[in-house]
Amino acid sequence: MKFRIWTTLFLVTIAQVAWGQTSTNRKLVNAEATSPEPSVNSYTVLGATSDQETLVRAQIRIMQPDVYPLRVLFVSHWKYVDTARTFRLHVPAGYTSAMFTHLPSRSVFIDSDRYVSDDSLGYWIAHELGHLAANSASENAADKAAREYRKRLKDARKPDVR
Ligand SMILES: [Zn+2]
């Protein structure tokens, strides 16, 4: 029963994000966008296993992005594709194809069925955080901003830094 409630809440949240074009939801998005900068732990992680959530939060903490996401959503592949289509996002094959960012709602979507490894997760999250930092859908702008985040991730992995 608990699981069912959680699932429903999750789907409602997805729906709010995915169909954010209605007036009430647009207000919600605007309210969030103008609220004080979310910091290290004030964003939500949805749909992740506890290991994934711990990992994502740790990686984002290390990267210290200029702009934090409001939410990070792990979704099934069909939902991922469906959501991308709803946002009319072009998700180029083989390029950031396991995640994308919806800038107006500062939501990062991760295709949980294509979750490859911890390292690649951090690598691509850096790219998505780059989109947020640059506030741009441009892949070049995102990669440019991601460079510093990837460097921080790499430095954190060096044994002598710990
Ligand atoms: Zn991108």
Question: Is residue 84 pLDDT above 90, yes or no?
Answer: no
Full-model pTM: 0.71
Q: How far is the CA of 131 from the centre of ligand 1 (A)?
A: 7
Question: Is residue 5 pLDDT above 50, yes or no?
Answer: no
Among 5-9, 36-40, 116-120, which range has the highest average pLDDT?
A: 116-120
DSSP 143-155: HHHHHHHHHHHHH
Q: What percent of the chain has pLDDT over 90?
A: 52
Is residue 117 very low, low, confident or very high in pLDDT (cuts 50, 70, 90)? confident
Q: How far is the CA of 149 from the centre of ligand 1 (A)?
A: 14
Judge contact between 73 and 104, C-beta under 8 A. no
Closest Cα to residue 75, out of 64, 83, 87, 66? 83
pLDDT, residue 93, reads 56
Q: How far is the CA of 87 from the centre of ligand 1 (A)?
A: 14
Q: How confident is the model over 19-37, as pLDDT tens digits? A: 444 444 444 444 444 444 5
The whole-angstrom separation of Cα 127 and Cα 69 is: 12
Place of tokens 């919600």: 28
